[in-house]
Amino acid sequence: MTSNLRTSQIDQALLTKKIIVTCGTGGVGKTTVSAALALRAASLGKKTVVITIDPAKRLATSLGLGDIGDLPTDLSSQLRQALIDKGLPPLPESGSLHAIMPDTRETFESFIRSLTASEAIAKRVIDNPIFQIFSREFSGSNEYMAMQRLLGLHQEGKFDLIILDTPPSRNTLALLDAPKLLARFFDERFIRWLVLPANKLVSTGMRKALGLLEKLTGAAFMTHLFEFASALFEVRVQFSANLSKITELLQHHSTSFLLVAAPSRDTAPDALHFVDSVKGHGFQFEGIVVNRRLSHLGACPERAPENAPEYINRALQVLSALQERESLAMTDLEMKLKTLSSGNPSAPICLSLPELARDVHSLSDLLEISQALERFNPA
């Protein structure tokens, strides 16, 4: 972050990409990494926005803010101040930093409205009790809305770079499958059955099956479901068109996917699985950020100094085991990434970031991590 800035691989990505999607399981520090990358992009002169979907408001906390809303919050002046406080060069004229935490419910409603010109149809969907619960809880809806917001922001064109911090999940790739999950609702073969008048074209078997289902669920649920399905049926064409737009955007060469992981024995297998899936969807794999590394601490001494409290020796044992696991994980990962990149002109990035000894609470802390990017990954 100095005037003689080294253009490392990640800077290259931050300078050339329009969208970077960060994926990873819970607890790996995805939100912090995404925010630190956004900070760095801003310092490189990019108009940057980071979107995070997180019920725990981690981004707001780690930025030292009470709240971030559905509309972009401009953090440039805070960033300028933090740069001054740290005695770092000022933010380039063109650079800016924004953050968004979409309200998924709001986004879901405006999404439905955007699919139809008719307020009556939109209301039929939105007022349906199934939709009401669905929009709050459906596990894929967060992911889907994240991408919906991404598409909207991209179309507005106000930012050079959008960093999308995906919702935490066990499955790193939940995000990639979300559109398909939601698309199931819009599966025409099935919706058609639900909206057809019961007396037309419905086979005896189908009528029987629906009758049995109604016995189980009660008549009211089936009525709501038919109503929900028929309202969705009205917007299915626009939905599919929207889905293709999102897919197209994610497949574009200026969009790429970054995996954030913590060093463990699962790192390499997870990374390979991620690469396969990303490529399978026709997306670009940018690389992996291995966060929470402990190697920068140096090797653990066999024993603590004699005057050290007893717990330090036990802590060193755990720490040393963790470092050993990390070193094996990194060897494994580097080997696997090498095989991946053989014959591939654009080798995937493999970045490291250190485990922190306290939590991140301000832009100034994030700046330090952003600088650690450079220190831990010399060009």
Partner 1 sequence: MTPGPSNHDPLKDALTRSLIFVSGKGGVGKTCVSQAIARALSKQPSGRGKTTKRVLWVTFEDPFRPAGELKEISPNFFELNCEAQTAFEEYTSMKIGIPTLTRILVQNSLVRYLAKAAPGIHELVLLGKVWYERTRWDHVVCDMPSTGYGLAMFQSTSNFADLFRGGPIHSDAESMLETFRDPQECSQLIVSLPEEMPLRESIDLQAFLLRLFPENTPAFIVNRRFPHPPETLQNDSSGVSDQASPLASSPIEYAERRAKLEAFNLRIWREVGLGFSELGYIPPRPNAPTEDRIPEGIVEALAEELIRKEVFTK
Judged by CB under 8 A, the chain residues 79 through 138 that form the site for partner 1 are 129-130, 133-134, 136-138
Residues 3-32 that bind partner 1 (CB under 8 A): 25-28
Residues 181-240 that bind partner 1 (CB under 8 A): 184-185, 187, 189-190, 193-194, 205-206, 208-210, 212-221, 224-225
Shortest gap between Cβ of 368 and partner 1 (angstroms)? 6
Structure tokens of 50? 């980071």
CA distances (Å), origin 140, targets 81, 104, 134: 39, 11, 10
Terminal CA-CA length for the chain:
13
Q: DSSP assignment of 166-191, as one string?
A: PPP-SSTTHHHHHHHHHHGGG-HHHH
Number of residues in contact with partner 1 under rule CB under 8 A: 89
Q: Are 129 and 224 in contact (CB under 8 A)?
A: yes
Binding to partner 1 by CB under 8 A, coded x per residue (else -) over 268-307, reads --------------------------x-xxxxxx--xx--
Residues 146-175 that bind partner 1 (CB under 8 A): 167-171, 174
What count of other Cβ atoms lies within 10 Å of the Cβ of residue 299? Answer: 8
Binding residue for partner 1 (CB under 8 A) from 65, 195, 249, 372? 372
Binding residue for partner 1 (CB under 8 A) from 115, 176, 369, 373? 369
* Cα distance between residue 270 and residue 255, in whole Å: 21
* Cα distance between residue 213 and residue 223, in whole Å: 12
Q: Are 134 and 195 in contact (CB under 8 A)?
A: no
Shortest gap between Cβ of 61 and partner 1 (angstroms)? 8
- E strands within 62-129? 73-74, 96-100
Shortest gap between Cβ of 343 and partner 1 (angstroms)? 30
Shortest gap between Cβ of 215 and partner 1 (angstroms)? 6
What φ, ψ does residue 365 adopt, rounded to 5°? -60, -45
Residues 339-358 that bind partner 1 (CB under 8 A): 354-358
Which residue, 70 or 355, has its beta carbon nearer to partner 1? 355
Which residue, 311 or 343, has its beta carbon nearer to partner 1? 311
Classify the phi-psi angles of 57: left when phi > 0, otherwise alpha if psi is within -120 to 50, otherwise beta.
left
Which residue, 84 or 206, has its beta carbon nearer to partner 1? 206
Instruction: Give strand pairing partners of 352.
Output: 290
Which residue, 88 or 210, has its beta carbon nearer to partner 1? 210
Instruction: Give strand pairing partners of 164.
Output: 21, 51
Binding residue for partner 1 (CB under 8 A) from 142, 267, 284, 370? 142
Shortest gap between Cβ of 318 and partner 1 (angstroms)? 5
What count of other Cβ atoms lies within 10 Å of the Cβ of residue 373? Answer: 21
Shortest gap between Cβ of 330 and partner 1 (angstroms)? 11
Shortest gap between Cβ of 112 and partner 1 (angstroms)? 15
Q: Are 303 and 313 in contact (CB under 8 A)?
A: yes
User: Is residue 35 within the footprint of partner 1 (CB under 8 A)?
Assistant: no
Instruction: Give strand pairing partners of 285.
Output: 257
Binding residue for partner 1 (CB under 8 A) from 9, 312, 340, 341? 312
Shortest gap between Cβ of 260 and partner 1 (angstroms)? 12
Instruction: Give strand pairing partners of 24.
Output: none
Which residue, 254 or 313, has its beta carbon nearer to partner 1? 313
Structure tokens of 91? 């933010």
Structure tokens of 6? 């080294």
Which residue, 134 or 233, has its beta carbon nearer to partner 1? 134
User: Is residue 331 within the footprint of partner 1 (CB under 8 A)?
Assistant: no
